[in-house]
C-alpha cells in the first residue's frame, strides 16, 4: 500500500466548531496509527466568506489540543503551497483540461437568466436543476457554436465552468464508515467548478489538491457525503484513482434532535468552540473550552468520543493511547449527541489526577486575574477543594470565603438553621478559639466538641452557626480545616463581626 496521507482542509470562514476539531483529530489518529502524514490545507477559494484570523485560530486550536500536522500552511512541506489562494494557476490548468476533454463546459447564463428559469420551474411546482435534462436549453458551450463561444470569451463575458455529469450511472463511494454508498448520477446537477473571477470552486480545488498532494484517505464530516459522488466523478474524469473516504457522523444537540449549533452552546452554557472567538464585526464573544478552564487532555477525550468508542470500559486516553486504540471502522454512522455533562466529567477526572502544585499554579493565576491577593496556604485550599470542583476557577466561585470574609449569607440556611441562641454560641466559641495557641484543625475540633459537651448542646445548630459566620454557606469542606487555613485572626474577626450581619438578614 502506498503511504497513508490524510488532510484536514478547513475553510477560513470563522472559528472552527468542535466538529472541525473532531475531524482534524480523527485524521491525525488514523494517519499516526498507520505511520502516515497529516496535511493542513487552507481552502480559501470563497473570497466572500473569508474571515480574518480564522486560519490562525485553527492552528492555535490544534496546538492547544496537543497535536500537530506534518505539513501545512503553518510549516510548509514538499507539496506546498498549502493555501488554495496561492495555487490559482494550478486549478486553471485542470479546469481547461476538463473542458478540452469534453468533461466540463463554459456556461454564460447570467444570474438573471438563471432566476427566470427557476421561477418558470417553480410555477410548474418543479425544482430547477442545471443538469442533463436542462443544459441543452441554456446558454453554454454545449449549445453555442465554437465561434460563438470564442467570441464571448474574447469579449470577456463572465462565465462559469460546469462539470458535465452523465446521467444513468451508478456512482459508488467507498466509505470506511458507511461501506459502499451508491448514488444515481441522474440525481446530480452540473456543479460549477470554476468561476469567472479566476477562482475554482471547492469541488475542483479540493480534488486537484487531494490528487497532487497524494492524499490516500479523505476523512471529513457527513455534510460532505452528498458531494462525494461528484468528487468520484471528477476523479474519473481526470483518470485519477479516487482516495478512500470516511464521512464522520454529524454532531447533534444534547437532546439528540438536530445539528449542534453555537446557539445550543449559548443556551446550554457550554462552548462549541475550542478557543474563545471574538467576532470582529459584531463584537460577539463565543466561549471557548480553553478559556472556560478545560484541560486540553480532557478536551481531546471529549472530541475523540464524539462518534467513536473503543468498545471497552476505558474512558480516559492519552494522545498516544488514542493513536494505538483508534479504529475508523468503529466510528458510528449515526449522529453523535453532544453531552455537556460528560464533558465536565472528563475535566473533573483530569483535574483530580493533577498534582496539587499544578492546581496551585493555575489557582494563583486565576486569583491574580481577579485581583485577589492572599497569603494563605494555597496547597491546603487545593487539598480541601480538589474533589469538589470541575474547573480551577470553581475554587474561587464556590469557596470565595478562603480569600474574603463573606458578604452574602445563604438565606435558606439562615432562615432554617440560624436559631435564637446561634449568635451567643458563636460568641462563646470565638472566646474558646481565642485561647488556642496552636490554631490547627484538630485542636479546633477538640475544643469545639468540649464546649458542646459542657453546654450540653447538639452538634448541628452550633456547627451551622459557625459555618455561616465563617463562610456564609450551608455546606463545604471541613470547617476546622477552613479556619486553620484562613488563620486565627481572620477566623476570630469573622466570628465577631458576621453574626450581626446574619441577624440583620433575619430581621
Query: Is residue 262 annotated as part of the catalytic site, yes or no?
Result: yes
Name which of 272 and 470 has its Cβ closer to ligand GLU. Answer: 272
User: Residue 467's CB: how many other CB atoms inside 10 A?
Assistant: 21
Least Cβ distance, residue 220 to ligand GLU (angstroms): 3
Name which of 130 and 245 has its Cβ closer to ligand GLU. Answer: 245
Residue in 11, 325, 348, 471 binding ligand GLU, rule: CB under 6 A: 11
Task: Yes or no: say if 40 and 8 are a contact pair by the CB < 8 Å rule.
Answer: yes
Least Cβ distance, residue 136 to ligand GLU (angstroms): 31
Residue in 50, 224, 240, 451 binding ligand GLU, rule: CB under 6 A: 224
Name which of 241 and 314 has its Cβ closer to ligand GLU. Answer: 241
Name which of 43 and 297 has its Cβ closer to ligand GLU. Answer: 43
CA separation, residue 200 to residues 12, 150, 191, 241, 373 (Å): 16, 21, 11, 21, 57
Residue in 16, 61, 140, 206 binding ligand GLU, rule: CB under 6 A: 206
Q: Cα separation of 8 and 272, whole Å?
A: 19
Q: Of the candidates 42, 66, 69, 68, which has an alpha carbon nearest to the alpha carbon of residue 54?
A: 42
Residue in 32, 135, 203, 220 binding ligand GLU, rule: CB under 6 A: 220
Q: Of the candidates 439, 430, 437, which has an alpha carbon nearest to the alpha carbon of residue 462?
A: 430
Name which of 10 and 477 has its Cβ closer to ligand GLU. Answer: 10
3-state secondary structure 284-301: CEECEHHHHCCCHHHHHH
Least Cβ distance, residue 45 to ligand GLU (angstroms): 9
Q: What is the total residue count of the chain? A: 507
Q: Of the candidates 307, 385, 305, which has an alpha carbon nearest to the alpha carbon of residue 348?
A: 385
Does the footprint of ligand GLU cover residue 400 (CB under 6 A)? no
Least Cβ distance, residue 7 to ligand GLU (angstroms): 7
Q: CA triplet 53, 7, 260: central angle to 5 degrees?
A: 65
Name which of 30 and 433 has its Cβ closer to ligand GLU. Answer: 30
Size of the site for ligand GLU (CB under 6 A): 8
Name which of 232 and 485 has its Cβ closer to ligand GLU. Answer: 232
Subset of 410-449 contacting ligand GLU (CB under 6 A): none
Q: CA triplet 30, 36, 40: central angle to 5 degrees?
A: 80
Select the span of 6-14, 138-146, 243-251, 290-298 touching ligand GLU (CB under 6 A).
6-14
3-state secondary structure 186-240: HHCCCCEEECCCCCECHHHHHHHHHHHCCCCEEEEEHHHHHHHHHHHHHHHHHCC
Q: Cα separation of 36 and 448, whole Å?
A: 66
Please name every residue paired with 173 in a beta bridge, in sequence order, or none if there are none: 181
Determine the angle formed by the axes of helices 422-434 and 459-471, rounding to 10 degrees.
80
Name which of 224 and 240 has its Cβ closer to ligand GLU. Answer: 224
Select the span of 9-17, 49-57, 235-243, 499-507 touching ligand GLU (CB under 6 A).
9-17
Position of cell 493511547? 321
Least Cβ distance, residue 227 to ligand GLU (angstroms): 8
Least Cβ distance, residue 83 to ligand GLU (angstroms): 12
Q: Cα separation of 287 and 269, whole Å?
A: 9
DSSP assignment letter at 401: G
Q: Of the candidates 138, 72, 75, which has an alpha carbon nearest to the alpha carbon of residue 107?
A: 138
Does the footprint of ligand GLU cover residue 9 (CB under 6 A)? yes
Q: Cα separation of 413 and 474, whole Å?
A: 6
Residue in 5, 6, 10, 425 binding ligand GLU, rule: CB under 6 A: 10
Least Cβ distance, residue 218 to ligand GLU (angstroms): 6
Select the span of 8-16, 302-310, 385-393, 436-444 touching ligand GLU (CB under 6 A).
8-16
Q: Of the candidates 377, 362, 392, which has an alpha carbon nearest to the alpha carbon of residue 483?
A: 377
b/e per residue, 52-70, with b = 16+ CB within 10 A?
eebbebbbebbebbebebb
Name which of 10 and 406 has its Cβ closer to ligand GLU. Answer: 10
Least Cβ distance, residue 24 to ligand GLU (angstroms): 10
- In angstroms and rounded to an integer, the radius of gyration of the C-alpha atoms of the chain is 32
Select the span of 5-13, 253-261, 270-278, 305-313 touching ligand GLU (CB under 6 A).
5-13
Considering 244, 262, 417, 506, which one is annotated as catalytic? 262
Does the footprint of ligand GLU cover residue 61 (CB under 6 A)? no
Least Cβ distance, residue 257 to ligand GLU (angstroms): 24
**Which residues of this chain interact with ligand GLU, rule CB under 6 A?**
9-11, 43, 202, 206, 220, 224
Residues designated as active site: 262
Amino acid at each position: 500500500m502506498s503511504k497513508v496521507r490524510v488532510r484536514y482542509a478547513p475553510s477560513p470562514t470563522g472559528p472552527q466548531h468542535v466538529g472541525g476539531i473532531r475531524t482534524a483529530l480523527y485524521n491525525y489518529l488514523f494517519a499516526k496509527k498507520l505511520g502516515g502524514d497529516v496535511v493542513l490545507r487552507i481552502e480559501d477559494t470563497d473570497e466572500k466568506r473569508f474571515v480574518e484570523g480564522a486560519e490562525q485560530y485553527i492552528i492555535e486550536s490544534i496546538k492547544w489540543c496537543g497535536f500537530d500536522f506534518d505539513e501545512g500552511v503553518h510549516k510548509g512541506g514538499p507539496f506546498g503551497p498549502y493555501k488554495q489562494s496561492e495555487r490559482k494557476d494550478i486549478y486553471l490548468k485542470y479546469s481547461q483540461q476538463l473542458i478540452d476533454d469534453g468533461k466540463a463546459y463554459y456556461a454564460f447564463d447570467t444570474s438573471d437568466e438563471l432566476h427566470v428559469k427557476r421561477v418558470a420551474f417553480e410555477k410548474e411546482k418543479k425544482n430547477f436543476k442545471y443538469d442533463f435534462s436542462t443544459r441543452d436549453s441554456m446558454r453554454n458551450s454545449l449549445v453555442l457554436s465554437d465561434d460563438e463561444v470564442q467570441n464571448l470569451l474574447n469579449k470577456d463575458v463572465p462565465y462559469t465552468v460546469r462539470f458535465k455529469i452523465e446521467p444513468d450511472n451508478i456512482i459508488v463511494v467507498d466509505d470506511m464508515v458507511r461501506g459502499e454508498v451508491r448514488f444515481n448520477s441522474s440525481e446530480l446537477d452540473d456543479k460549477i467548478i470554476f468561476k469567472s473571477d479566476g477562482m475554482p470552486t471547492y469541488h475542483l480545488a479540493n480534488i486537484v489538491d487531494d490528487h497532487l498532494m497524494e492524499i490516500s484517505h479523505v476523512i471529513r464530516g457527513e455534510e460532505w457525503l452528498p458531494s462525494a459522488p461528484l468528487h468520484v466523478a471528477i476523479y474519473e474524469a481526470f483518470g485519477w484513482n479516487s482516495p478512500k473516504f470516511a464521512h464522520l457522523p454529524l454532531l447533534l444537540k444534547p437532546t439528540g434532535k438536530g445539528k449542534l449549533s453555537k446557539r445550543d452552546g449559548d443556551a446550554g452554557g457550554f462552548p462549541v468552540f475550542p478557543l474563545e472567538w471574538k467576532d470582529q464585526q459584531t463584537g460577539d464573544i463565543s466561549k471557548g473550552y480553553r478559556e472556560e478552564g478545560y484541560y486540553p487532555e480532557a478536551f481531546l477525550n471529549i472530541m475523540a468520543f464524539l462518534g467513536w468508542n473503543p468498545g471497552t470500559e476505558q474512558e480516559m486516553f492519552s494522545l498516544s493511547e488514542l493513536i494505538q486504540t483508534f479504529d475508523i471502522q468503529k466510528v458510528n454512522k449515526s449522529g453523535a449527541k453532544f453531552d455537556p455533562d460528560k464533558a465536565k466529567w472528563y475535566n473533573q477526572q483530569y483535574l483530580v489526577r493533577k498534582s496539587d502544585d499544578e492546581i496551585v499554579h493555575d489557582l494563583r493565576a486565576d486569583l491574580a486575574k481577579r485581583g485577589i491577593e492572599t497569603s494563605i496556604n494555597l496547597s491546603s485550599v487545593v487539598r480541601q477543594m480538589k474533589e469538589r470542583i470541575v474547573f480551577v476557577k470553581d475554587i474561587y466561585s464556590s469557596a470565595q470565603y478562603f480569600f474574603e470574609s463573606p458578604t452574602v449569607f445563604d438565606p435558606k440556611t439562615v432562615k432554617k438553621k440560624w436559631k435564637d441562641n446561634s449568635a451567643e454560641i458563636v460568641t462563646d466559641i470565638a472566646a474558646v478559639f481565642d485561647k488556642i495557641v496552636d490554631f490547627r484543625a484538630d485542636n479546633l475540633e477538640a475544643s469545639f466538641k468540649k464546649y458542646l459537651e459542657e453546654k450540653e448542646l447538639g452538634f448541628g445548630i452550633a456547627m451551622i452557626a459557625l459555618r455561616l459566620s465563617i463562610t456564609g454557606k450551608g455546606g463545604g469542606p471541613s470547617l476546622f480545616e477552613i479556619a486553620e487555613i484562613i488563620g486565627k485572626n481572620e477566623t476570630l474577626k469573622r466570628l465577631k463581626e458576621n453574626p450581626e450581619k446574619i441577624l440583620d438578614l433575619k430581621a
